Amino acid sequence: MSHATIAPLPATPAPAAGPLPLQGLRVVEFSHMVMGPTCGMVLADLGAEVIKVEPIEGDRTRHLLGAGAGFFPLFNRNKKSIAIDLRHPEGQAVARKLALSADVVLQNFKPGALAKYGLDYAGLCAENPRLIYVNHTGFLPGPYEHRTALDEVVQMMGGLAYMTGRPGDPLRAGSSVNDIMGGMFGAIGAMAALMQRGITGRGQEIDSALYENNVFLVGQHMLQYAVTGQPAAPMPERISSWGLYDVFSVKDGEQIFLAAVSDAQWNTFCEALGFADLQADPLLATNNDRVRARATMLPELRQRLASRTAAELSELFERNGLPYAPILRPEQLYDDPHLNATGGLADITLPDGERAGQTARTTLFPLRMDGQRLGVRLQPPRRGEHTQALLEGLGYTPEQVRALHDGAAVA
């Protein structure tokens, strides 16, 4: 059986059964790819009714290959789908009516893309001054605001790729970190605006941007330079804050990360492994001493640990309360005992592609509320799966719904 289709273990806690924090909130999402859908997913997981507006042909993210194959099923759970042709006058009217029914509208298209349909904040807030409108963009307003941004683009220009790769070899992080976090910051802004609306009665426009998100992520390295006068080195060449804090190659070619970030942990490490000579060495007495001695200390430790297995070291570090980590690949996490025991994975039904209708396991929002995980209430939707029900909810008669379908304003 594929790891992606393993059934949940009996120990998996049930998702929260009571009212969720954002229950009763309506969110209309004009988005694609990762950033906007992440914002919508966060709000949906927290209980909001999130309505994803797709083009008639469907969100192109549904059919991406390779690294993009997981985008749609991950970031679009707990949402409803309505397919609308915004180029069609009647489709524009439907979209506007839907947007005006919302508490929150979010979008992640190029600046001005929705303004031509009257679906930008200025075009909606006059009729609904309580509306909260979240823009997900490449850059906040300024000299760069009209540039086309991607996660790679901002990682390269914002110092993150430099910090991740080896010197002279900038490397993007191995996940869509800015897209995902940019969507999370959009959701944080929306929730803060909802709280403020409860006081003032008015909504507002919010901007979350990839570039500024990336700069926030590397802020610690900027401050390192401001405080020390020394530029931060890329992570593979960094001057570590800790003497023992590295990946070690051990028996049978396995790798494991080992650390001791205090003098007490260093003493425990030496005692557990029988390294009395290192524990007694005055040149290794304090953490800062060990940082200064890394050039000689680490090769010595690598030689001493090379005959140990990763399992043996894991057991030893676990027993002694020391930090350690096996080096795992993403697909191996399906078998992670902690994730399975704590309800960190849940079944979804894939909506598109060759495996449409089949079950896979997805990661859940990484928090608990009232002792429960936030689970999957709605499967990732099929294109336009909720179009008819949503139109009827907006007051369209069955005859009007048929006419919209027949005229291809909706699907």
- Residues labelled as active-site residues: 179
Q: Name residue 347's beta-bridge partners.
A: 361
Q: How far, in Å, are 29, 123, 260, 305, 375 from residue 26 at the CA level? A: 10, 19, 48, 56, 19
- Strands 49-54 and 79-83 come out as parallel
Q: How far, in Å, are 81, 187, 201, 204 from residue 132 at the CA level? A: 20, 11, 11, 5
Looking up tokens 């749609």 gives: 72
Dist CA 30 CA 79 (whole Å): 12
In sequence order, what are the residues at sequence separation of 6 or more whose Cβ sits closer than 8 angstroms to the Cβ of residue 291?
239, 240, 241, 242, 243
Query: Which amino acid is located at 268 in the chain?
Result: T
Dist CA 272 CA 91 (whole Å): 69
- At 90, give phi and psi (nearest 5°): -70, -30
